[in-house]
Amino acid sequence: MSENQTIEPTNEEPQAATEHRIPQPDAITNKDLMKSWFGWWWANEVPHTFDRMLAPSFAFGLIPTLQKLYKDKDELAKSFQRHLLFFNTQATWGGGTLTGVTISLEEARAKALANGEEPISEDMINNTKVGLMGPLAGIGDSIDSGTIQYIFIAMFLPFAKQGNFLGALLPFLCFAIATFTYGYYFTKMGYSLGRSAAKEIMTGGRMQGIIDGLGILGLYMMGILAGQYITIRSFLKFSISGKGFNVNTILNQILPGALPLLAVMLVYWYFQRQGLKITRALLYLTGALIVLSIFYII
């Protein structure tokens, strides 16, 4: 190279300097999990739509954690959009577990993007939600709506019977506190276990024991309600050798509350044979009671 030859500047920069680097995500804490769980729990039914169902509520709950995971605006916008797709599940068992599972998957994706590795696909995150929302909703509906709330109603029904307003208020408050508490537990479990959290709920020995125990307790409480608050008496009387007998008294001596128990068992048998057709069962029961009362049987 001659002395008079000059080196022309070039606009080329090292490739590493021009690459678009995605910042590392912040660590997810229990406080972040609580924020996401509370957001979903609080807004669960507020923005309910026919096309997206509960997706807006789920996305709203994830906002605090997604903002910590994705510092890149484009990736953050994509995360908001994918969680606005159709989503519908039960609030605590389904929503709590899937909140934790989704945060776990999003965190893995955010770390992979920041490290330049192959990330978890968006389809896998969405398919995980869609695949688990149905089975978890079935468990949650049967436990929360079919057992837990009736346990609290049975506990405070005597207050309502006495005209105390706490009989209407306390079941609602206790149910809200209980579901919020174990829903947050499911959120933490979902985050720590990832996709295997659903397997733990549906097939895990500890969770299965809790579900079975709640079912037995629910049946026990419903039996107490049936015995205390269902009143059916028979007016049939007869006499033998000049001595009068009352059918209702005889039945109560043999088995106290026999007629209410018989009514409950007949309704249960009907549901077992015909399915949970509540309106039809009420109509049949009302008709049967009217006919029996006309003939002074009950």
* Total H helices, total E strands in the chain: 13, 2
Q: What is the pLDDT of residue 18?
A: 40
**Which tokens is 215 given?**
């079912």
Q: Quick check: 152 and 175 in contact, CB under 8 A?
A: yes
Q: Distance between CA atoms of 237 and 257, rounded to whole angstroms?
A: 18
| Beta strand residue intervals within 141-226, DSSP E | none
pLDDT one-digit tens code per residue, 241-264: 777 777 777 777 777 777 777 888
CA-based nearest residue to 209, from 197, 198, 201, 221? 201
Q: What is the pLDDT of residue 218?
A: 64
Would you say residue 15 has pLDDT above 50?
no
What's the whole-number average pLDDT of the chain?
81
pLDDT one-digit tens code per residue, 130-143: 888 888 887 888 78
- When pLDDT is cut at 50, 70 and 90, the band that residue 176 belongs to is very high
Q: What is the pLDDT of residue 48?
A: 80
Q: What average pLDDT does the segment 180-198 reach?
A: 83
pLDDT one-digit tens code per residue, 45-54: 888 888 889 9
pLDDT greater at residue 291 or residue 296: 291
Q: What average pLDDT does the segment 198-217 reach?
A: 61
Domain ranges of the chain: 21-225, 232-294
Range in 16-25, 164-173, 189-198 with the lowest mean pLDDT? 16-25
Q: What is the pLDDT of residue 195?
A: 61
Q: Distance between CA atoms of 56 and 36, rounded to whole angstroms?
A: 13
Looking up tokens 């008709």, which residue turns up? 287
**Which tokens is 181 given?**
């508490």
Q: What is the pLDDT of residue 16?
A: 43
Q: What is the pLDDT of residue 201?
A: 57
